[in-house]
Chains A and B, each alone.
Chain A
Amino acid sequence: MLETIKELCAISGISGRENSVRDYIIKKIEGYAEYSIDPLGNLIVFKKGKNPAKNKVMLDAHMDEVGMIITAITSDGFLRFAKVGGIDSRVMLGRTVKVGEKGVSGVIGIKPVHLVEKGQEADIPKPDELYIDIGAKSKEEAAEYVRLGDAAWFDSDFVEFGDGFIKAKALDDRAGCAILIELIRSELEYDTWFSFSVQEEIGTRGAMASAFTIAPDYAIVVETTTAADISGVKDEKRVCICGDGGAVSFMDRSTIYNRELFDKAFEVAKEQDILCQPKTLVAGGNDAGAIHKSRGGVKTLTVSVPCRYLHSPGCVIKYSDAAQSLKLIGAMAEEFAKW
């Protein structure tokens, strides 16, 4: 699974431009399951199990990553952009990016601190002041390489470091995609549905359609979530902790989760000796927000791989958490299928 995560993170796919990610996933699951692509671009997969399921279970992970979309080229050849998804400007300044179909290299520039007025050294430029410099000398030169509406994404490699940690861009939610791929490629006890969804980062657009189409009884959203287990942050403010297994949500900004499902996850984890932890802060949101309100309502569970520095070019997870989450999600899918 590590190799799959690595390959998935290397692919660019901001919201609305998930094609390359989808192509990769199809290549990985070809022959293991039936699939179709819906009008929004969601990849919907049906995997036959050893037994028919009593309840229809859907597993969801989103394919898109946060990034940028080019909105203008200035007269002197710089690119203006809008953020796609929630990105803090502080993680964008002074970063390298790739732009457009040709993958041109660029940097997000910043006024040298030497030229900043005294007392303003910590002030972050406003989002509409940000720009990408691809080295073009004029609007015309830039236009040879970039069109308005082109995607731009963080240029960030995959690094293994420390005690089993991984750094990459787009771990949110390629880690989830990798877990789903792993399940599809394994032998499953029950028939199971999967949605590799588009456009989560701009408001869970894809999952609204895929949940309607699949019409599940139960859903498991497989995500990454904010781990704040960093220097200077204590106790419940850490939200979840790298190394303590998948984080199970009871409530976030988009969903109040079914309590029975939440409790069952911890019960099953205990029985099967799987590491998991509660997410200890009501924050963030994910495809569950769309899925649990689909049709007449869907009982939904979210299991997330704890991820530090989410929505930055340098997302960090601990691989063991992805492995533990895989086990828990597999076990919960079985539980729900026969519940």
Chain B
Amino acid sequence: MNKYNEVSALLERLCSAKGVSGAENRAAEVAAELLEKYMPVKIDPLGSVTGTMGEGNIHILLDAHLDQIGLVVTAVDEDGFLKVAKCGGADIRVLAAAEVTVHGKEDIFGVITSTPPHLSKPEDSSKAKDFDEIAVDIGMKREDALKIVSPGDRITFNGSFSRLLGNRAASPSIDDRAGVAAILRCLEFLKNKKLNCKLSVLFSVQEETGGSGAQTGAFSACADEAIAVDVSFAAAPGISSEKYASLGGGTMIGYAPSLDYEMSRCLSEIAEKENIPNQPEVMGGKTGTNCDEIQVSGKGVKTALLSIPLRNMHTAVEVCDLEDIENTARLMAEYILERSAANA
């Protein structure tokens, strides 16, 4: 029907597999199955999905993180409500009455408690409640809850993958399943191409809690160059279009002191040459992405960052434009082909 159907289906499948930081197994299973079409796959000691293919004088690593933000159960209270803390950078402003899934011995439905306007003062509605004032309602008594739920269980925010107008989509966990999807689409573009380089893929765990997966995965890969694919901020009401990216405006090519300037330049030049929509994203120091860990792993790795514009980051309604994912994939593929040819 439309040329974005494949990436849409891929992203939907990736987003439907849950995986909060440190408990990425289900997301990892799906990602591993999808990656296996292109290369042999391993799961590393921390749980990251890794794969390597080809041989050559240069070794390029592609990274995207598997984990999504969520909550973690800290206790079951006397009435059977679950007390929770954040796991990754959950936004407290979107918690009231949010629907969640508690990943206990089985997946169970829950609603985060909130107070209706009838019982609160008008001024209360200008401040979000913090974790000490909320709990997850699973509609069970304490003794029944304890049979299914234990402290440490992860909780994800419910929300289905929905298509908006044009080629836009909304879902939880587009951060960073969009990056995983971009790498898989890149491999699809490269499928029948002869490569003179070694290519590794890292779908890393625990980015949202500090980047342990990227740090260890990049060490094991020991690549010469790396490209990390993550999401970054797109303009929306209250978010300046001068400072932030345009949704659907193309892949964001990162420029930062910690990123390899030649790689960034090379990506921009290829994008211009191949007419791939792109926009620069300039940062003044580190990037706040896996690049920060990958760059300093082992003896050091030249690192570049490609970002997919995203709205409402860290909510259950993250919005992206599928065209941006596809363009990120194309640019990565063209970059790999060029580096492969140059090092033949």
Chain A positions near chain B (C-beta within 8 angstroms): 74, 78, 86-91, 93-96, 104-115, 121-126, 129, 131, 133-137, 141-142, 145, 156, 159, 161-165, 167, 226, 228-232, 239, 281, 283-284, 308-314, 316, 318
Contact = CB atoms under 8 A, between A and B. Distances in A.
A184 B61 CA distance: 68
B168 A135 contact: yes
B284 to A, nearest CB: 15
Contacts of B203: none
Contact of A312 (B94, B96, B128): B96
Interface string B73-87: 000010101010000
B46 interface: no
A263 to B, nearest CB: 25
A102 to B, nearest CB: 11
A112 B117 contact: no
A94 B315 contact: yes
Contacts of B128: 90, 121-124
B312 A110 contact: yes
11 contacts: A93-B93, A110-B93, A110-B312, A112-B239, A114-B314, A123-B128, A135-B166, A135-B319, A137-B248, A161-B139, A314-B97
Contact of A165 (B92, B130, B139): B139
A284 to B, nearest CB: 4
Contact of A310 (B89, B96, B118, B129): B118
Contact of A135 (B92, B110, B164, B315): B164
Contacts of B144: 163
Contact of B91 (A95, A113, A135): A113
Given A95-B317, A312-B114, A90 B96 contact: yes
Given A94-B317, A105-B163, A230 B81 contact: yes
Contact of B92 (A121, A156, A281): A121
Nearest to B164: A135
B165 A134 contact: yes
Contacts of B141: 163
Given A110-B315, A122-B128, A232-B135, A311 B117 contact: yes
Which 7 A/B pairs are nearest by Cβ-Cβ distance? A162-B139, A135-B164, A231-B135, A165-B139, A231-B81, A135-B168, A312-B97
Nearest to A165: B139
Contacts of B119: 226, 228, 239, 281, 283
A307 to B, nearest CB: 9
Contact of B137 (A94, A239, A313, A316): A316
A339 B314 CA distance: 59
Contacts of B316: 94-96
B311 interface: yes
A226 to B, nearest CB: 5
A212 B315 CA distance: 47
Given A135-B165, A231-B81, A122 B127 contact: yes
Interface string B273-292: 00000000000000010000
B236 A109 contact: yes
Contacts of A141: 165-166
A122 B239 CA distance: 18
Contact of B133 (A125, A232, A310, A311): A232
A142 B164 CA distance: 11
A109 B140 contact: no
A86 B118 contact: yes
Contacts of A87: 117
Interface in B110-126: 110-111, 113-120, 125-126
B108 interface: yes
Given A162-B138, A163-B140, A239-B119, A309 B236 contact: no
A242 to B, nearest CB: 8
B117 A88 contact: yes
Given A113-B93, A135-B168, 7 more contacts: A88-B115, A94-B94, A106-B164, A115-B233, A131-B236, A231-B81, A239-B119
A137 B91 CA distance: 26
A159 B99 CA distance: 10
Contacts of A142: 165
Contacts of B139: 161-165, 316, 318
Contacts of A309: 97, 111, 113-114, 116
B41 to A, nearest CB: 32
Contact of A231 (B83, B168, B236): B83
B118 A284 contact: yes
A174 to B, nearest CB: 17
B137 A159 contact: no
Interface in B176-198: none
A327 to B, nearest CB: 22
B45 interface: no
A96 B170 CA distance: 9
A164 B125 CA distance: 30
B239 A86 contact: no
A161 B98 CA distance: 15
A133 B319 contact: yes
**Chain A CB within 10 A, most for which of B81, B116, B127, B248:** B116
Contact of B97 (A91, A114, A161, A163): A91
A167 B313 CA distance: 26
B94 A93 contact: yes
**Chain B CB within 10 A, most for which of A167, A313, A314, A318:** A314
B162 interface: yes
Contacts of B115: 88, 228
A107 B317 contact: yes
B109 interface: yes
Contacts of B51: none
B98 A167 contact: no
Contacts of A137: 165-166, 248
Given A136-B165, A226-B118, A230-B135, A90 B93 contact: yes
Contacts of A308: 111, 113, 137
Nearest to A89: B125
A68 B243 CA distance: 31
A93 to B, nearest CB: 5
A114 B108 CA distance: 30
